[in-house]
Amino acid sequence: MSILEDLSANLQRGDFEGVAELTDMAIEENIAPQKILDDGLIAGMSVVGEKFKRHDIFLPDVLLAAKAMYAGMDKLKPLLIRDGIPTIGKVVLGSVQGDLHDIGKNLVGIMLKGAGFEVVDLGNDVAPERFIEAAESEGASVIGMSALLTTTMPVMRKVISLAKEKGVADKYKFIVGGAPLSAEFAKDIGADAYCFDGIKAVESVKSFLGVN
């Protein structure tokens, strides 16, 4: 088994110490940071995502793998920045204004980072203007909104409407998620995807950005 295959296998098991160690070893062996990321870490997370979709594993397993992914990324990030390697895409993410629940949004952010995307997490109780401002200033391609309350769901529509008013809606794809939402609601407010979990969010963003 190659070192990158070993790295992927350790990540899938959620062995964060093993992942950190193997990432160090791969760096010492002069494997390109981008290759370590793609063929080791992201490859491992892709397998985890597939297993989750098939119900072979469940949320805690995915999150244990994500912790291992982060352990590897902590080692790689300075090298990727040094080499000026661009991320595959940037997503601005937040729980909408009035909503303090952020566990779902956090999980989506973890999964997106695990898939190699850069995530700008705006936190919770995020005003519509803030989503647009952040997407503009960060040069993001996707705006992700989360709501756990039926009373805060309408804020999602406001964000999309505001983007249209400002003439910037075409620059972004809008993804929405949260327990009370549905695909119908997402379509009705003009969102590009309803993401019922983090894996679906990753699939949607990959699809929008043409990432295999």
**From the list 6, 21, 125, 136, which residue makes contact with other proteins (rule: CB under 8 A)?**
125
**From the list 61, 133, 136, 138, which residue makes contact with other proteins (rule: CB under 8 A)?**
61
Amino acid at residue number 97: Q
- Select from 40-48, 78-86, 138-146, 149-157 the region that touches other proteins (CB under 8 A): 149-157
Q: Which residue has the tokens 């909503």?
A: 99
Taking CB under 8 A as the rule, does residue 2 contact other proteins?
A: no
**From the list 8, 12, 97, 146, which residue makes contact with other proteins (rule: CB under 8 A)?**
97
Taking CB under 8 A as the rule, does residue 141 contact other proteins?
A: no
| H, E, C per residue of the chain | CCHHHHHHHHHHHCCHHHHHHHHHHHHHCCCCHHHHHHHHHHHHHHHHHHHHHCCCCCHHHHHHHHHHHHHHHHHHHHHHHHCCCCCCCEEEEEEECCCCCCHHHHHHHHHHHHCCCEEEECCCCECHHHHHHHHHHHCCCEEEEECCCCCCHHHHHHHHHHHHHCCCHHHCEEEEECCCCCHHHHHHHCCCEECCCHHHHHHHHHHHHCCC
**From the list 22, 42, 57, 145, which residue makes contact with other proteins (rule: CB under 8 A)?**
57
**From the list 180, 187, 207, 211, which residue makes contact with other proteins (rule: CB under 8 A)?**
180
Partners of residue 21 on adjacent β-strands: none
Residue closer to other proteins by CB (options 43, 68) is 68
**From the list 10, 46, 141, 152, which residue makes contact with other proteins (rule: CB under 8 A)?**
152
- Select from 4-12, 18-26, 63-71, 165-173 the region that touches other proteins (CB under 8 A): 63-71
Q: How far is the CB of 114 from other proteins (least distance, A)?
A: 10
Q: Catalog residues that contact other proteins under the rule CB under 8 A.
A: 14, 57-61, 63-64, 66-67, 70-71, 97-101, 103, 106-107, 110, 125, 149-152, 179-180, 182
